[in-house]
Structure 1
Amino acid sequence: MKFSIERAVLSKAVAQAQSVVERRNTIPILANVLIEAEGDGVRFRATDLDVEVVDRAPAQVAQKGATTVAALMLNEIVRKLGDGALVTLSTQGAPGRLTIEAGRSTFQLSTLPVEDFPQMASPDYTTSFEAPAPLLRRLFDKSKFAISTEETRYYLNGVYFHVSAGADGKRVLRAVATDGHRLARIDAELPEGADGMPGVIVPRKTVAELRKLLDDDEAVIKVSVSDTKIRFETPSLTLTSKVIDGTFPDYTRVIPQANARRLEVDAKEFARAVDRVATVSSERSRAVKLNLDEDRLILSVNAPDQGTAEEELAVAYGDERLEIGFNAKYLLEIAHQVDRENAVFLFNSSGDPTVMREGDDLSALYVVMPMRV
């Protein structure tokens, strides 16, 4: 195998691949990236047996072939090469070695047999459809903050990606995440061909890796789904992942339907005010109290060991007086999802879950549990 490739192109491809590799693993081959050169391009493949990424890049291939080499080491070398360098990778030198040449720099890295590299089996995908990158980016970016990190409730360790009925009764593509303290439910227009998609739980790591495919606003992503795997594909990058083998709970039961007390507030002002008063809250609870009265909101914190803080905001509120407490971190995470000018909070009582919406947009809904303060 021998090919030459621009350093910037190689750096991007190797960085994409190595991010999937687990730094600690007991199977040496899983620390490697599989490099396959053929025709006018090169494929870089990496996997941790649950997620697989394949990056395709243009290259000048002098001799086709394949090898595997330590992903993290290759990434470090390429990252430190000079900008604009033409990099040549070859296995024609010493056996069991990959030679990397760029300008006056030469490296030789140990390789492992290509036959040892695991291939992720492709199931028969039951559903395939195409969706614009901004649509998928919004679904996953706005829901991922609520993914649970508790390993015992593994079925909450991802985003539930499925088709459902929206607020107006039309079928929508929906992403839901919850950790029991807060919940995010985001809807998007249903792409053609997606209606029969099985509901799957996309793992946290896959959601993080997926973000790299969705940066290009012009990109169209091909999505293929089966009961056990999901694949996201562009012309240059393919991300395949196992889905979480479990049943996502019936999230509709925890979304309040009768919350009648309505607060409307400038989303950015609210987030900044919460952040300021939370500065003195204790790290363990980070509790912030909301005192609501006619067109007035007072945010306060009382931390005996640290001190107190209070800030008043002008808001739109015309219901009975209400005092309710929340974890400041949860409030901030939800407030930061708001793309519109105003955030709308719907309350019932100080002990019931609170609903938050982005202005009059019904396609994004958040639920947060209160806490005693």
Structure 2
Amino acid sequence: MRLSIDKAGLSRALAHVASVVERRNTIPILSNVLLSARNNELKLTATDLDMELVETVPARVKGEGATTVPAHMFYDIVRKLPEGNDIELQRDGEQGRLVITSGPAQFLLQTLTADDFPALSVDDLSYSFSLPASDLKKLIEKTRFAISTEETRYYLNGIYLHATESSGKPMLRAVATDGHRLAQVEHPLPQGAKGMPGVIVPRKTVLELAKLVEDADGEVRIELSPSKIRVTTSRVVLTSKLIDGTFPDYERVIPQGNDKRMEVDNAAFAQAVDRVSTLSSDKGRAVKLTLNDGKLTLSVNNPESGSATEELPVDYGFDPLEIGFNARYLLDISQQLESGTAEFKLADPGSPTMVRDVKDQSALYVLMPMRV
């Protein structure tokens, strides 16, 4: 195997594939990235046995072949090589090493045979549809912050992607919840997605997808079975196992009867929450919202450090209400709202509150209150 490749393209691809590789592995080959050179392309493959990422970059291939090298070490080398020089890769068959040359710098990396590199088996991906990369990005970005990190509730450790109906129209919906907050975003159901199984995409896969759609443009192809998902962009193919579990009936926690409505400037609200929460305790992070006839008072009272209050003008004409929330959760939701105004629908101090972006009804957020 012998080839020459642009540093920027190789470094970008390695950033993607190396993030799939776990830092600690009991199986040595899983620490490596598979390099396959042919047809003036270099294909890089990484796997952790639950997920596989394959990225293809243009290269000037002078000798076809394949080998594997330690992923993180290879990425660190490429990242630190000088800008402006092409990188030469050549496998030394006798020594079993990969020679990396760029200008005056040369490295020799130990290799493991490509024949031992595991492939992620894929069953019949019977559902297939395409989405603009920007729409998939929205589904991921506006829900992933609410994914649970509690390993015992493994069925909440991902985004629930499923086909449903909303206002009589077929929709593709993404939902994530950790039991304290819920994020739901929907998009018109793409052709080919009708009848698809509801699937839970694992947190690690979601994080990799977020990186891929950040760089992608045009259409993204999604293929599904009840146990696997494959996402294909122009240069990358990501295949992953799905979480084998049942996502809870989340619609039961979405409030239907919240009759108190507040509108507030989103940026001013987020800044005020951030300021007063400076004095909140690390354990609870609680902020009290007091609503009374066009005025919102945010307050924190921490016996150990002091107290803080701030007032904001709001559109609110209902009975006075006091309710507490986790400040971090309020800020997380605030960051998802793109228009200038946030809409809160409230009921009472003990019931969940619904938050929406006034100008984007495709997303909704539910937040459980705290005692304050």
Aligned residue identity for 1:260 = D
- Is the Cα–Cα contact under 8 Å of residues 133 and 216 in structure 1 kept in the other structure? no
- Is the Cα–Cα contact under 8 Å of residues 339 and 359 in structure 2 kept in the other structure? no
Structure 1 residue 362 displacement after superposition: 2.3
Q: Which residue number corresponds to residue 52 of structure 2?
A: 52
Structure 1 residue 96 displacement after superposition: 1.4
Structure 1 residue 78 displacement after superposition: 0.3
Paired residues for 1:109-258 under 5 Å = 109-166=109-166, 168-216=167-215, 218-258=217-257
Structure 1 residue 248 displacement after superposition: 0.3
Structure 1 residue 333 displacement after superposition: 0.6
Q: Which residue number corresponds to residue 335 of structure 2?
A: 336
Alignment deviations for residues 10-37 of structure 1 (CA, whole Å, 9 cap, x no partner): 1111111111000011111000000000
Structure 1 residue 40 displacement after superposition: 1.2
- Is the Cα–Cα contact under 8 Å of residues 266 and 341 in structure 1 kept in the other structure? yes
The whole-number CA distance in structure 1 between the counterparts of 2:93 and 2:346 is: 70
Q: Which residue number corresponds to residue 67 of structure 1?
A: 67
- Is the Cα–Cα contact under 8 Å of residues 353 and 370 in structure 1 kept in the other structure? yes
Alignment deviations for residues 264-294 of structure 1 (CA, whole Å, 9 cap, x no partner): 0011111111000000111110110000000
The whole-number CA distance in structure 2 between the counterparts of 1:78 and 1:250 is: 47
Alignment deviations for residues 191-235 of structure 1 (CA, whole Å, 9 cap, x no partner): 121112211100111111001221246321011011111111012
Moved over 6 A (4+): none
The whole-number CA distance in structure 2 between the counterparts of 1:370 and 1:236 is: 44
Counterpart secondary structure, 2:142: helix
The whole-number CA distance in structure 2 between the counterparts of 1:290 and 1:157 is: 30
The whole-number CA distance in structure 2 between the counterparts of 1:150 and 1:127 is: 30
- Number of residue equivalences: 372
Q: Which residue number corresponds to residue 9 of structure 2?
A: 9
The whole-number CA distance in structure 2 between the counterparts of 1:84 and 1:54 is: 26
Alignment deviations for residues 45-70 of structure 1 (CA, whole Å, 9 cap, x no partner): 00011111101001011110000000
The whole-number CA distance in structure 2 between the counterparts of 1:247 and 1:160 is: 10
Aligned residue identity for 2:148 = S
The whole-number CA distance in structure 1 between the counterparts of 2:336 and 2:71 is: 35
Aligned residue identity for 2:111 = T
- Is the Cα–Cα contact under 8 Å of residues 93 and 99 in structure 1 kept in the other structure? no
State yes or no: 1:320 paired with 2:315.
no
Aligned residue identity for 2:271 = R
Aligned residue identity for 2:241 = K
Aligned residue identity for 1:188 = H
Paired residues for 1:222-301 under 5 Å = 222-301=221-300
The whole-number CA distance in structure 2 between the counterparts of 1:112 and 1:105 is: 23
Q: Which residue number corresponds to residue 353 of structure 1?
A: 352
The whole-number CA distance in structure 1 between the counterparts of 2:367 and 2:218 is: 34
Aligned residue identity for 1:10 = L
Paired residues for 1:67-106 under 5 Å = 67-92=67-92, 94-106=94-106
The whole-number CA distance in structure 1 between the counterparts of 2:361 and 2:17 is: 37
The whole-number CA distance in structure 1 between the counterparts of 2:53 and 2:325 is: 39
Counterpart secondary structure, 1:356: strand
The whole-number CA distance in structure 2 between the counterparts of 1:357 and 1:147 is: 18
Counterpart secondary structure, 1:75: helix
The whole-number CA distance in structure 2 between the counterparts of 1:263 and 1:323 is: 13
Structure 1 residue 92 displacement after superposition: 3.2
Structure 1 residue 361 displacement after superposition: 3.0
Aligned residue identity for 1:318 = G
The whole-number CA distance in structure 2 between the counterparts of 1:110 and 1:219 is: 38
The whole-number CA distance in structure 2 between the counterparts of 1:366 and 1:198 is: 24
% identical aligned pairs? 55
Unmatched tracts of structure 2, length 5 or more: none
The whole-number CA distance in structure 1 between the counterparts of 2:325 and 2:281 is: 13
State yes or no: 1:37 paired with 2:43.
no
Counterpart secondary structure, 2:141: helix
Counterpart secondary structure, 2:270: helix
Structure 1 residue 360 displacement after superposition: 4.8
Alignment deviations for residues 173-208 of structure 1 (CA, whole Å, 9 cap, x no partner): 110000000000101122121112211100111111
- Is the Cα–Cα contact under 8 Å of residues 51 and 205 in structure 2 kept in the other structure? yes
Alignment deviations for residues 65-112 of structure 1 (CA, whole Å, 9 cap, x no partner): 000000001001000101121111111354211111111111111001
Unmatched tracts of structure 1, length 5 or more: none
Aligned residue identity for 1:225 = L
Structure 1 residue 115 displacement after superposition: 1.6
The whole-number CA distance in structure 2 between the counterparts of 1:181 and 1:92 is: 55
Aligned residue identity for 1:142 = K
